[in-house]
């Protein structure tokens, strides 16, 4: 029996984030993100990818970072995370994000999950 993870189309993600679709496509390019594609070529997002986009939105819209500043912030926290070993999952950080707190390791957790997904997709 096949186990499939829930995937969301760009329209659903845009509504959830309250942004236009072109904004999500722009963020994908600027932050080097890549959504998987359906057989028809439509973008499909898993929950952790939506969390990445939520983090980007928070940095840009609420924290008032520039794109360059948000990239730098995420890179610094990824580097910091790589120097530490983190054994917690992203679900640990979602309540803190909803409370508008930004834990240092959230961006790193998201990036780790993204890299694992890309590696998995290469194997398929």
Distance from the first to the final alpha carbon of the chain: 17
pLDDT number for residue 69: 92
Higher pLDDT, 49 or 99: 49
pLDDT-based confidence at residue 34 (cuts at 50, 70, 90): confident
Q: Are 44 and 7 in contact (CB under 8 A)?
A: yes
Quote the tokens at residue 99: 């409370």
Instruction: Spell out the domain ranges in the chain.
Output: 8-123
Q: Region 26-40: what's the mean pLDDT?
A: 88
pLDDT at 25 over 70: yes
What number does CATH give the domain 8-123?
A: 1.10.1660.10
Q: Are strands 8-9 and 36-37 parallel, antiparallel or unpaired?
A: unpaired
Give 112's contacts (C-beta < 8 A, 6+ positions apart).
Answer: 81, 86
pLDDT number for residue 57: 95
pLDDT-based confidence at residue 29 (cuts at 50, 70, 90): very high
Q: Are 94 and 51 in contact (CB under 8 A)?
A: yes
pLDDT digits (tens, 9 = 90+) for 91-108: 555 555 555 555 555 666
């Amino acid at each position: 029996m096949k186990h499939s993870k829930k995937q969301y189309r760009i329209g659903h993600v845009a509504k959830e984030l309250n942004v236009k679709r072109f904004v999500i496509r722009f963020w994908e390019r600027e932050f080097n993100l890549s959504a998987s594609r359906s057989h028809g070529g439509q973008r499909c997002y898993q929950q952790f990818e939506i969390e990445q986009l939520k983090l980007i939105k928070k940095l840009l819209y609420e924290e008032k970072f520039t794109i360059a500043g948000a990239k730098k912030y995420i890179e610094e926290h990824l580097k910091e995370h790589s120097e530490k070993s983190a054994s917690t999952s992203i679900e640990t950080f979602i309540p803190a994000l909803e409370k508008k707190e930004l834990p240092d390791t959230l961006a790193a957790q998201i990036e780790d999950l993204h890299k694992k997904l890309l590696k998995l997709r290469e194997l398929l």
